[in-house]
Amino acid sequence: MELGEEALRKQLGKYKFRDLTIEELKNVNKTYPNFVFSMNTYTFKDGSQKDLLNFSGTVPVKYGNSYNIPICLWIMDSHPFAPPICFLKPTANMGISVGKHVDARGRIYLPYLQSWSHPKSTVIGLIKEMIAKFEQELPLYSLSSSDAARQSELLSYIAKITEDFSASANSKVVVLTVNSLGNAQTYLEVIQSNVDLFRGIIPAISHYSQNCVLLVTSHPVEIMTYVSWKLSAFPKSRVVGIGGNLDTERFQYILTNLLKAQVLGKDAWIVGEQGEDKVPSWTSSNSAANQIETMAARNSREKVANRALEVLKGKGQRSWSVGLSVADLTDSILKDKRKVHSVSILAKGCCNINSEVFLSLPCILGTSGVIEMMKLEEDPLVLEKLQSSAASIHDLQQQLKL
């Protein structure tokens, strides 16, 4: 094989397992003779640099038609005991389809890399899995001139706000607060802009902190929590939106401090979706006295629920209250407090909702995220509003490009 083996052996002088590395590269060259090998300087996210062996070329992918997908693999100096660092290498007229296995910068994340273990794991095996995943979800697409400009702008923005994803490594909770600052005109365009942003963020976060709880505050929180769940492939219990937690705290405060309904306030929740379509509700109670108190409060529940919004109109900036609410949720998760909060969770199967949508519902939070959902009162008005919210949210989700 035309690898310049002696020269390569000298270049790999600092590699701990040089002979094993060369033998594996011989196998790669036999299977993929189009790959070009070279020694180059790789810059890590912390700014440090190393001279590493890399090879670039194309792999064949069948996705309706046949495509040659350009990739570049950097071989670590502790190979084969450490996995390669893998990237797509799109040409100027190619766009990156960000998804579970590819982030906005073209870095490739695969289960094979996460479970890398010598001698079971090999570069040939890695490339085979890469091809299999790309045949399920093509990682590149052709760009028009306008698409190219938009992608360049998005990548620039992502680079500014996420210079080092590895800083989040092994987190127990990751709080997502970012919202796109694009020039979208319609509500759907605003949401799509946020979705595009998350497509460049979530895969990297879930790669570095595979066991974390994702806590979403970005708007609209119900849809962005759904997007986070889809892109991360995390269990539904570990993807939570801030939802109605803050509104619930205000609601409970009004009930217990202004109406002096101490018992009722403990079981009162703001559920559904954030904004005007939220709805007050109560968890089930066996107390006869509590039921009488609940019935009395239902007569004016809408007025009471909106009392907090009237206060907000005169307050202006309220980021502190949102921050305190996020801190409250984070504290319950990290300290395994098993406290009940109204947060955005996957509502499918609840309240006769059959679609994959996230709505605020009272549930117990702990270190693993959602531990248990509380049972709501059986009120036709509440059920109707929840189902209506689910339908409108699902309709918007169907129009998004994930």
Across the chain, which has 402 residues, the per-10-residue mean pLDDT values are: 63 85 87 88 78 90 87 92 91 76 82 88 94 88 66 61 70 89 64 85 88 94 95 94 90 75 68 83 56 48 54 53 91 95 94 93 95 87 90 90 78
Terminal C-alpha separation, the chain: 43
DSSP state of 318: -
The span from the CA of 186 to the CA of 202, in Å, is 24
Contacting residues for 42 by C-beta, under 8 A, at least 6 apart: 49, 50, 51, 52, 54, 74, 85
pLDDT of residue 221: 93
Residue found under tokens 């085979």: 128
What's the confidence (pLDDT) of residue 46?
63
* Degrees, nearest 5: CA angle 365-206-129: 135
| DSSP category for residue 373 | E
Question: How many Cβ atoms from other residues are within 10 Å of residue 51's Cβ?
Answer: 12
Residue 147, number of CB atoms within 10 A of its CB: 13
Q: Yes or no: say if 203 and 306 are a contact pair by the CB < 8 Å rule.
A: no
Range list of H helices, 162-287: 187-199, 202-208, 221-232, 245-253, 262-266
Burial (CB count within 10 angstroms: exposed 0-12, middle 13-18, buried 19+), residue 316: exposed
Distance of alpha carbon 158 from the chain centroid:
14
Alpha-carbon gap, residue 219 to 190, rounded angstroms: 9
- Give the span between the Cα atoms of 220 and 360, in whole angstroms: 12
Reading phi first (left if > 0) and then psi (alpha if -120 to 50, else beta), residue 78 is in alpha
Q: For residues 289 and 3, what is the distance between their CA atoms, to the nearest angstrom?
A: 84
Residue 127 and residue 56 in contact, taking contact as beta carbons nearer than 8 Å: no
Quick check: 22 and 40 in contact, CB under 8 A? no
SS3 content of the chain, % helix, strand, coil (to 5): 45, 25, 35
- Which stretches within 262-376 are classed as H helix? 262-266, 288-298, 301-305, 307-315, 319-334
| Residue 47 φ/ψ, nearest 5 degrees | 95, -15
